[in-house]
């Protein structure tokens, strides 16, 4: 289903707050506890309403179920005292949108491009073969490091402490895009997406799932990597979220996202800096070393 809200990618940027956590000390970037077992992520700004007024409001039904929370949550400042601690999250704002589902038009005479809700991701080059869990919108209640601007977002998305996830619902701005995110590191251990910088343009990945509009199954759909980007929660939002109908891709896309560096003075890069600067296009405005910037890595792949 398409949600009536356009969540800021901050969440997506899912950041993966908490990715860099080494253990007991809370990470400044993983500042919000969405629920006792669910954590959220960083976000980016989403497209505003037709009137241009973006609102920030909490989702009334965003709390994840007990089944989803243990593994599908993302950045809680400190893990809850459960057997499976979950990561922290960052804020995301939402812009209200028409609640009626819409379908991105396909060029005349062409088959409609499916809106794929991914359920399984395979990346042969990285030996990744994993289920894609459902991610929920949850309230964001975190703080930011001293001296950094406070986010306007009030919600974020859950990210599993282990594994990868995609939004359970979609919204205007991510038509024809399967957005999949996961931790690069959680509590000192590499996450499933720690190896993402090993991808290069031309590499393949495969997705199983179903069409969000028709429910039809999608099996072993092939995508080819055509873009690698180093961004932050601000620029990442414009990467993922189409700002106008003209920016909706003509073919299906898969967008993979993970964290590079959390906010805060003295935070180290989780992924190798030299590798990313050599391979990825930098989309960050300003100083990469600004401790208030939450850095993210994106891999874009287009349907073959």
CATH code of residue 43 = 2.40.260.10
Q: What is the pLDDT of residue 121?
A: 99
- Whether 157 maps to a domain, the answer reads yes
Q: What is the pLDDT of residue 266?
A: 93
Mean pLDDT to the nearest integer, 37-61: 33
- Whether 199 maps to a domain, the answer reads yes
Q: What is the pLDDT of residue 170?
A: 85
Query: What is the domain range of residue 227?
Result: 5-100+115-303
- Whether 108 maps to a domain, the answer reads no
Q: Which pLDDT band holds residue 43 (cuts at 50, 70, 90)?
A: very low
- Whether 240 maps to a domain, the answer reads yes
pTM of the model: 0.73
For 247, phi then psi, to 5°, come to -90, 0
128 pLDDT higher than 70: yes
Among 6-10, 92-96, 279-283, 287-291, the minimum mean pLDDT is found in: 92-96
The string of pLDDT tens digits covering residues 16-29 is: 444 544 433 323 22
Q: Which pLDDT band holds residue 123 (cuts at 50, 70, 90)?
A: very high
Q: Which pLDDT band holds residue 132 (cuts at 50, 70, 90)?
A: very high
Residue 18 in contact with residue 186, Cβ under 8 Å? yes
**Beta-bridge mates of residue 122:** 129, 206
- Whether 107 maps to a domain, the answer reads no
Residue 237 CB neighbours (<10 A) = 28
Q: Which pLDDT band holds residue 208 (cuts at 50, 70, 90)?
A: very high
Q: Which pLDDT band holds residue 48 (cuts at 50, 70, 90)?
A: very low
Q: What is the pLDDT of residue 105?
A: 53
- Whether 267 maps to a domain, the answer reads yes
Q: What is the pLDDT of residue 110?
A: 60
Domain count, the chain: 1
Share above pLDDT 90 across residues of the chain, in percent, rounded to a whole number: 55
- Whether 110 maps to a domain, the answer reads no
277 pLDDT higher than 80: yes
- Whether 276 maps to a domain, the answer reads yes
The string of pLDDT tens digits covering residues 61-116 is: 333 333 333 333 333 323 333 333 344 443 333 333 333 344 555 444 567 899 99
Q: What is the pLDDT of residue 224?
A: 99
């Amino acid at each position: 289903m398409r949600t009536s809200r356009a969540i800021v990618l901050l969440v997506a940027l899912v950041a993966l707050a908490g990715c860099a956590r080494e253990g007991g000390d809370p990470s400044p970037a993983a500042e919000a506890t969405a629920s006792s077992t669910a954590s959220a992520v960083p976000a980016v700004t989403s497209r505003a309403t037709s009137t241009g007024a973006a609102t920030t409001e909490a989702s009334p039904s965003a709390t994840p179920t007990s089944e989803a929370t243990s593994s599908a949550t993302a950045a809680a400042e400190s893990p809850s005292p459960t057997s499976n601690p979950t990561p922290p999250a960052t804020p995301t704002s939402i812009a209200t949108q028409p609640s009626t589902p819409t379908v991105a038009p396909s060029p005349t005479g062409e088959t409609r491009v499916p809106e794929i809700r991914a359920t399984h991701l395979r990346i042969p080059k990285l030996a990744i073969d994993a289920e894609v869990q459902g991610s929920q919108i949850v309230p964001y209640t975190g703080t930011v490091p001293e001296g950094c601007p406070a986010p306007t977002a009030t919600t974020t998305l859950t990210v599993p402490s282990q594994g990868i996830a995609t939004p359970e619902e979609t919204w205007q701005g991510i038509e024809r895009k399967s957005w999949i995110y996961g931790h690069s590191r959680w509590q000192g251990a590499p996450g499933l997406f720690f190896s993402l910088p090993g991808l290069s343009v031309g590499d393949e990945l495969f997705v199983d799932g179903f069409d969000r509009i028709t429910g039809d199954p999608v099996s072993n759909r092939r995508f080819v990597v055509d873009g690698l980007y180093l961004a932050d929660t601000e620029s990442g939002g414009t990467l993922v979220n189409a700002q106008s109908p003209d920016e909706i891709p003509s073919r299906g896309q898969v967008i993979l996202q993970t964290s590079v560096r959390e906010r805060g003075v003295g935070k180290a890069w989780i992924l190798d800096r030299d590798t990313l600067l050599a391979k990825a296009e930098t989309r960050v405005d300003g100083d990469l070393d600004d401790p208030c910037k939450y850095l993210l890595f994106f891999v874009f792949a287009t349907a073959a």
